[in-house]
Amino acid sequence: TPKEKSGWALGTLSTGGITGGLLGPLIGGLLADWIGLRSVFLFTGSALFLTFLITLWFVKEDFVPVKREELASMKSIFASLRHPQLIVGLFVTTFLIQFSTQSIGPLLTLYVRELNPNTTALAFMAGIVASAPGLAALVSAQRLGRLSDRHGAERILFWALLLYSLFLIPQAFVTSTTQLILLRFGIGFATAALMPSVQSLLRQHTPVSATGRIFSYNQSAQFMGNLLGPLFGSQIVAHFGFSALFIITGLIMISNAFLERTNVQSLQLDTK
């Protein structure tokens, strides 16, 4: 993809993941209520195997393997970057985004149960809550990608982080599932811009020879957030309750926004 179109391309690509995020919880919740949790694992495993076959047969690339002794070291990879401090800052941003979202995601079902202690369709209701951000993201992903190309991915990322916090903190004070769904829907507009904006910035500031390695490092930061986020969220809820989790996580996202803005501004000053 041409670098000047990377925002649109990544926004379009993320639509696939967003659609899965939208349909997955709904289908999973329905199946769990209808046929039981064990069958959901069989269904999901079959879908993943189908994905493997599609990738094997239809995803083609022109790829020339690099010999192990010719692979560049991490030091040389970062030496080839024009703005290594920006890239490291984006790794931190990726980690904090994933850390914040994953600190809440696995616990949403428990929060729904707390709001609806007498419900007999917990899995389905939790599925709707989990799917609400996906619906908003599906609608807005491509448009936000075009805005990123037009106005700059760093600006879109900054405002998306603030918007995420704006819809996240009030979730600490909801009194019904309907309120929670509306706020989760609002979060979806920010979610659609977060990782595509980070990836677009990485794409723009990374030479072609280092793209694979830099994106793999960013994936490592993302997976670290996946690992530590749920551990953090469970401890906060166990000691202080759900309200504290939403407030603390919202403040982390606000801090992330201003860290990212400071990182970009320092880059602009260095360029001048």
pLDDT for the residue 169: 95
pLDDT of 29 above 80: no
Burial readout 24-35 (b: 16 or more C-beta within 10 A, e: otherwise): bbbbbbebbbee
In this prediction the pTM is 0.76
> Where are the chain's structural domains?
12-60+82-271
Tens digit of each residue's pLDDT (9 = 90 or more) over 215-243:
888 999 999 999 999 999 999 999 999 99
Contact, 213 vs 72, CB < 8 A? Answer: yes
pLDDT of 147 above 90: no
| 12 vs 165, more confident | 165
When pLDDT is cut at 50, 70 and 90, the band that residue 69 belongs to is low
CB neighbour list of residue 105: distance below 8 Å, 6 or more residues apart: 130, 229, 230
Percent of the chain with pLDDT over 90: 29
Q: Which of 37-41, 192-196, 216-220, 240-244 has the lowest mean pLDDT?
A: 192-196
pLDDT for the residue 266: 67
Strands (E), the chain: none
Burial class (CB in 10 A: 0-12, 13-18, 19+), 170: middle
Residue 89 CA to residue 215 CA, distance in Å, equals 13
Query: First CA to last CA across the chain, in angstroms?
Result: 28
DSSP run (H or E) holding 183: helix 177-204
The total number of residues shown for the chain amounts to 272
Burial class (CB in 10 A: 0-12, 13-18, 19+), 257: buried
CB neighbour list of residue 62: distance below 8 Å, 6 or more residues apart: none
When pLDDT is cut at 50, 70 and 90, the band that residue 57 belongs to is very high
pLDDT of 31 above 90: no
What's the fold here for domain 12-60+82-271? Growth Hormone; Chain: A; (1.20.1250)
The rounded radius of gyration (Å) of the Cα atoms in the chain is 20
> Could you tell me which of 56, 92, 54 has the C-alpha nearest to residue 257?
92
Burial readout 119-133 (b: 16 or more C-beta within 10 A, e: otherwise): eeebbbbbbbbbbbb
Residue 17 CA to residue 138 CA, distance in Å, equals 9
pLDDT for the residue 234: 93
Contact, 215 vs 162, CB < 8 A? Answer: no
Tens digit of each residue's pLDDT (9 = 90 or more) over 88-130:
888 999 999 999 988 988 888 889 988 888 877 787 788 788 8
pLDDT of 268 above 70: no
Residue 222 CA to residue 199 CA, distance in Å, equals 12
When pLDDT is cut at 50, 70 and 90, the band that residue 263 belongs to is confident
Residue 169 CA to residue 254 CA, distance in Å, equals 11
φ/ψ bin of 36: left (φ > 0), alpha (ψ from -120 to 50), beta (otherwise): left
pLDDT for the residue 86: 84
pLDDT, mean over the chain: 83
Coil/strand/helix, residue 61: coil
pLDDT of 211 above 90: no
Coil/strand/helix, residue 119: coil
Percent of the chain with pLDDT over 70: 87
pLDDT for the residue 164: 92
Contact, 130 vs 108, CB < 8 A? Answer: yes
Contact, 188 vs 134, CB < 8 A? Answer: yes
